[in-house]
Amino acid sequence: MTMTVDHLIETAGGVSLAESGAGAEGADVKSMPVSQHGLSAELLEELAALAAEKTREGDGLRLMGEGGLLPEIAQHLMQSALETEMDLHLVEEAGRVGGRGSRSGGNTRNGYRSKKVMTEVGPVVVQVPRDRLGTFTPRLLPRYGRRTGALDEMVLSLTAKGLTSGEIVAHLAEVYQMATSKETVSTITDKALDSMADWRTRPLDPVYPVVFIDAIHVKIRDGHVANRPIYVAIAVTADGYREILGLWAGTGGEGAKYWQTVLTEIKNRGVRDVLMLVCDGLSALPEAVNTVWPQTVVQTCIVHLIRNSLRYSSRRDWAEVARDLKPVYTAVNEEQARVRLGEFAEKWGTKYPSIAGTWERAWSEFVPFLGLPDAIRQVVYTTNAIESLNARYRRAASACGHFPNEQAALKRLYLTTLALDPTGRGRQRWNNHWKSALNEFDLLFDGRLTAGRA
């Protein structure tokens, strides 16, 4: 005879720890609970036998989606929970002297209504009990709720991983036989807007050793589709962790004036001092930074300089050009760096004359790097975490093609940030030798790091 899930759950439910005799020597393992939800080993073995029987009969074993084992279990458990909620509701109403649930009111059950619920294991149809006075509202399934919270979390996670609304709809239909729409997916992801607003205005640390700023460009439809910059600020904390300070949507091309607005907002969120700010070499940016934090050292990002240099060379020469540039930015001082840049120009000046010029134009913002101790150089130069983050952002943005507005673009990138770290801070250890860098920062910047943290 074919066993049913209802029969198994009713006859092979979990046992408590006391009933199982778990504290006694030689206790039967099969009688011990194996999960925090009270699922016993006996129940799991019976379910395994049911799966094996389906396989022998040639039906195969399907866990999720229509006809799957997990939706059937979910349906039974949800139905039992609804029945329990109704029983408790009627008892509570009956206990109110003179209330609608008293003998004079006589509230009782009044049949059922069918409701299709989208769960993380597939669609489930439950019979929601009704009462005669219409006062019952189940907490498990709110009156207009058609989805479980876990399904919403799944959609948010898939969005954060870079799937478009259409791809999520197709995924739910293929794996879970769940019919939904792009509008539903958008409604679910809109739940992130409130938390995004809190995240973008949260208080920040009073001082950061290093802040990196950069911009990625996304396509936003505002009358017509145009490239718009999304500004990203990333800090290294005094404890040696990466922290994403925020995302901002610009109106035109990347510019120092807008960066000043962004940095002012960061200051207003509690950042009194930044020791070093690393950027991609915008000409007017040092003045904008020093307007906000007068003592901050502005440093051109070495990775950006190398990347800009490679744009002027053929791909087949990239490895050799990068290797010949390394002596320039690893020089012990400015004088030696000048000599190494001259040697580079002698070798490549005829073929790629613009590369040496790129370094000459950025020289005043590059020079501070040469005066840094090795421990701090590693912090400033090691931008793999930033490049990885920007790659994630670009992949998430390019998957959508273009966004209907800037809020949609920011929402997508914010969810991508949450995928890195549920707090949204994008925490990641910067390097494994942070203590030596921390001491060097304090010595080089006259104790401002320690004073700012006090």
Predicted pLDDT of residue 147: 65
User: What percentage of the chain carries pLDDT values higher than 90?
Assistant: 20
31 CB burial (10 A radius; 0-12, 13-18, 19+):
middle
pLDDT digits (tens, 9 = 90+) for 127-141: 888 888 888 888 777
Lowest mean pLDDT among 7-16, 44-53, 348-357, 429-438: 7-16
With 50 as the cut, is the pLDDT of residue 23 above it?
no
Q: Average pLDDT for residues 287-311, to the nearest whole number? A: 88
Are the C-beta atoms of 341 and 356 separated by less than 8 Å? yes
Instruction: Compute the CA torsion angle 438, 441, 447, 453 (nearest 10 deg).
Output: -50
User: What percentage of the chain carries pLDDT values higher than 70?
Assistant: 78
For the chain, give the number of residues: 454
Helices (H), 95-177: 149-160, 165-176
DSSP letter assigned to residue 20? H
Q: Average pLDDT for residues 210-238, to the nearest whole number? A: 87
pLDDT digits (tens, 9 = 90+) for 270-279: 999 999 998 8
Lowest mean pLDDT among 120-124, 284-288, 346-350, 433-437: 120-124
Computed over every residue of the chain, the mean pLDDT equals 78
With 80 as the cut, is the pLDDT of residue 78 above it?
no
Per-residue b or e along 117-147, where b marks 16 or more CB atoms closer than 10 Å to that residue's CB: bbbbbbbbebebbebeeeebebeebeeeeeb
DSSP letter assigned to residue 330? T
Predicted pLDDT of residue 191: 77
pLDDT digits (tens, 9 = 90+) for 231-251: 899 999 988 888 999 999 887
CA–centroid distance for 92 within its chain? 42
The neighbouring-strand residues paired with 234 are 212, 244
For residue 391 the two structure tokens come to 């790659």
